[in-house]
Amino acid sequence: MEVIKTIEAMKEFSSQARLAGKTIAFVPTMGFFHQGHLSLMREGRRRGDLLIISLFVNPTQFGPSEDFKSYPRDFERDRKMAEEVGVDVLFAPEASAMYPPNHQTIVRVEKVTQTLCGRSRPTHFQGVTTVVTMLFEIVMPHVAIFGEKDYQQLVTIQQMVKDLRMSVEVVGLPTVREADGLAMSSRNTYLPPEERKAALSLYHSLQKAKELLQKGERKADRILHEVKGSLQSEPLIRIDYVQVCDAHTLQDVDRIEGDVVVALAAYLGKTRLIDNLVYRTL
Ligand code: AMP
């Protein structure tokens, strides 16, 4: 596996690969890998002649009071894990190279970013879409792979690629979970044992939603009531939001008719976790 640290070298590598007719699969990440990241990489390995991943803790997607500084980082561990799953290139640029002092351009997707996490993290998605646009320009992938764990991010990137006619196929993969059901996340490392135990309620509340949906419940408020009630019975949890949304537009629905996502965000102490259930009725 090759580690590339400069934008120029990455562009050169990808240009040459494209000239040689290679298909490039790409997985953007912020590192501190777990099985969720590795599942995206394995899919990339299947889909591309070359698999490129990026490791970049992107400062612009963190709010001023968020965890940019404390976000877990371990380059050596990540490098080894990437190598083991067969990554060809690990691209790890410096923030000062990605955002030189005169950087002035922001890519912002409107409607789908204004709900769910966008309400409590108003500049988060423009940070994501700006950096992903830059990464797509630098890495020049044919296919890019994202996780449904960050469902709103996936929909936002799909919308951006469609609107800007970007020449990349966006693939979404299901959430990988711990044995007990907790969605894997680099942020789970913040949780002391008590909060780690309480965090399971996120998964359990979504399982309750799934049971209701499977039994034929079609009223969103009934689902919301159940999920919120389940979360509220856990004293260590503070709900940020629970919403039932159309899985494509992310607009709230009253009745479940097509594909929906039941999405939630909650705090355990200072740690904010998200999870969701994608329920396809068709
Ligand atoms: P991050 O490093 O947290 O920015 O995540 C990088 C990519 O991994 C994103 O596309 C995430 O949606 C995806 N991802 C994170 N956690 C999981 C998970 N538990 N299962 C599947 N994909 C995930």
Mean pLDDT of 138-163: 98
The pair of three-digit structure tokens given for residue 96, joined into one six-digit string: 């000062």
Active-site hit among 34, 37, 124, 142: 37
Nearest to 90 by CA among 56, 136, 61: 56
The pair of three-digit structure tokens given for residue 78, joined into one six-digit string: 């990540």
3-state secondary structure of 208: helix
DSSP per position, 229-276:
HHHHTSTTEEEEEEEEEETTT--B-SB--S-EEEEEEEEETTEEEEEE
- Site to probe by mutation for ligand 1, drawn from 26, 30, 39, 40 as the one with most ligand atoms within 8 Å of Cβ, is 40
pLDDT averaged over every residue in the chain: 98
Mean pLDDT of 7-28: 98
> Is residue 84's pLDDT more than 90?
yes
3-state secondary structure of 14: helix
Taking CB atoms and a 6 Å cutoff, what residues make up the pocket around ligand 1? Answer: 29-30, 36-37, 39-40, 146-147, 149-150, 173, 175-176, 183-186
Interval 155-189: pLDDT, tens: 999 999 999 999 999 999 999 999 999 999 999 99
Task: Determine the Cα–Cα distance for residues 264 and 238; give it in Å rounded to an integer.
Answer: 11
Mean pLDDT of 236-261: 98
Active site residue 37: yes
Q: What is the pLDDT of residue 264?
A: 98
Task: Determine the Cα–Cα distance for residues 30 and 89; give it in Å rounded to an integer.
Answer: 15
Q: Which amino acid is at 168?
A: V
Q: What is the pLDDT of residue 281?
A: 80
* CB within 8 Å of 89: residues ≥ 6 apart: 1, 2, 3, 4, 10, 13, 50, 51, 52, 53
Q: What is the DSSP letter of 197?
A: H
Q: How many CB atoms lie within 10 A of CB 248?
A: 14
* Nearest residue by C-alpha to atom 22 in ligand 1: 147
How big is the chain by its Cα radius of gyration, in Å? 19
> Is residue 282's pLDDT more than 70?
no
Ligand 1 atom closest to 185 (CA): 16
Token pair 């709230």: residue = 252
